[in-house]
Amino acid sequence: MGKALKILAIDDEILTQTFIQQVLKGEHQVHIASAGEEGIHLAAELLPDIIILDVKMPGMDGYTVCQKLKEDSKTCDIPVLFLSAHTNIEEQLQGYAAGGDDYLVKPCEPETLRAKVNVMLRFRDQSRLLKQQYTEAQKTAHIAMLGSSEIGMAMQFVEQSYLINDYDELANAFFSVTDKLQLICALMFFSHAGAKSYFSDGSASPLEIELLEKMRYQNRIIDFSQRTFINYPNVTLLVKNMPLQDPERYGRIKDLLPTVLGTLSNKIFAMKAGHAIQQQSDELAVSFDQIKTTLLALSNSLATSQAQSTGILHTMLEEMQGFLPKLALEEDQEAYILDHIEDSSRKAMELNDSSEEIGATFHRVVDALQDMLDKQHKLLTEIRPKAPSQAESDRQSGYTSDVDLF
């Protein structure tokens, strides 16, 4: 049967003790206790593989002994085989209620005792295996729940990041994730205004800041000691206390951080792009104002020049009509001069009419530019993240919270 096992028999009858020893001592180590208290003490000291326990004993009976054994963490998993001269169902139920695992009526045949012991041994091995499987299942379930919680934190960060348009708020949202993971971190954003540093513990050495800047162009992941650098195009992360002593937690963290950092880097890129668009829009607005002012001034200048030219031509025509008779010209000569002046005046008036059309065109250009500027402003307003409503804020605050990307 393999290695000899330890069996403890607790029975006050000498004949029963001798019977058990003779039947089992060839295969197992048999230890005897003659009373309940002695049996409890030996069980805690020997930690036997099986306990054979008499029901009727002076002082503490077998049911009480069994209860005390099951209450002790050292002996609670040892199988108990009750021995009794009675076979009624009430005693069997009482033995079961006390924590017994099997029941044997005495006197019995040696083969019956051996069979019961073998059954108890198989039961013990199966119980241990099931307990081990249960422990592993609990561990797996715990890891799965942790993973689910961590994924929930990542999803919460992704959702929150859409509503953030400020670098300080973005860093605080990231640290809310790493704080729950019990990580001490340093961040460096590469924003439109240059490098910007943040620290979850409130401070960093000059060397850490310098390393964050230099690590930007290194490999995606750099591990040394219990520190890890992770680089993305617009952000570098330094984790100062990676849990190397806990490989499972270490692996989960390295699975989770890329999701959060990838979102963080993309958000910073979007904020930089938004800033560039806003700056371009502001510059366009300034340029438009300058163009508008120039066009309107030119249009007004054309209108003024038109009015002045018309006045000058009318004055000149009136003066010539009064001045020509004094020149004593022939009638046909006078008519020729007046006709020539009137023709030139007519052409000048036509040019003035063209100037009015040019002025109207300037106004249409100004209106078209204004319309373009209004549409761009509307587009910027639509794409700019909006503050969440109170309901959304309440819902997000209710969050409690593995694909290997490396």
The alpha carbon of 240 is separated from its chain's Cα centroid by a whole number of angstroms, namely: 19
> Tokens 């006709």 appear where?
339
For every residue of 360-404, DSSP letters joined together read HHHHHHHHHHHHHHHHHHHHHHHHSPPPPPHHHHHHHHT------
Does residue 397 sit within a domain?
no
Does residue 1 sit within a domain?
no
What is the C-alpha to C-alpha distance for residues 285 and 302, in angstroms, rounded to an integer?
25
Does residue 241 share a domain with residue 203? yes
Does residue 148 share a domain with residue 263? yes
Q: How many domains does the chain have?
A: 3
pLDDT for the residue numbered 162: 81
Which amino acid makes up residue 138? Q
pLDDT for the residue numbered 137: 55
What is the C-alpha to C-alpha distance for residues 188 and 184, in angstroms, rounded to an integer?
14
Does residue 286 share a domain with residue 268? no
* Residues recorded for the chain: 406
Does residue 192 sit within a domain?
yes
Beta-bridged to residue 237, according to DSSP, are 187, 230
What is the C-alpha to C-alpha distance for residues 77 and 364, in angstroms, rounded to an integer?
94
Q: Cα(first)–Cα(last) distance of the chain, in Å?
A: 50
> Tokens 């953030």 appear where?
164
Q: Identify the DSSP state of 326.
A: G
Does residue 259 share a domain with residue 232? yes
Question: Contact at 8 Å (CB) between 84 and 61?
Answer: no
Would the CA dihedral through 346, 352, 353, 354 be positive or negative? positive
**β-pair type (6-10, 29-33):** parallel
Q: Find, among 126, 55, 133, 59, the residue nearest to 94 by Cα.
A: 55
pLDDT in tens, the chain (406 residues): 456 788 999 998 898 888 988 888 878 889 999 999 999 999 999 999 899 988 888 889 999 999 999 999 889 888 898 888 877 788 777 887 888 888 888 888 888 888 888 888 887 777 777 677 656 655 554 444 444 567 777 788 878 888 888 899 999 988 888 888 888 888 999 988 888 889 888 776 777 788 888 888 888 888 877 888 899 989 999 998 888 888 888 888 888 888 888 888 998 988 888 888 777 777 777 777 777 777 777 777 777 776 777 777 677 767 766 766 766 667 777 677 767 777 776 766 665 655 566 667 767 777 777 777 777 667 666 555 544 444 444 444 443 333 332 2
Question: Contact at 8 Å (CB) between 230 and 258?
Answer: yes
HSE-CB for 15 with a 13 A CA cutoff: 3
Q: Identify the DSSP state of 72.
A: S
Does residue 188 share a domain with residue 178? yes
Does residue 391 sit within a domain?
no
pLDDT for the residue numbered 384: 54
Does residue 68 sit within a domain?
yes
* Domain boundary, last residue among 88, 104, 135: 135
What is the C-alpha to C-alpha distance for residues 79 and 101, in angstroms, rounded to an integer?
6
What is the C-alpha to C-alpha distance for residues 302 and 299, in angstroms, rounded to an integer?
5
What is the C-alpha to C-alpha distance for residues 269 and 89, in angstroms, rounded to an integer?
77
- Domain around 77: 6-135
Does residue 79 share a domain with residue 112? yes
Beta strand residue intervals within 192-340, DSSP E = 194-199, 221-224, 227-232, 235-239
Does residue 388 sit within a domain?
no
Burial of 277 (0-12, 13-18, 19+ CB in 10 A): middle
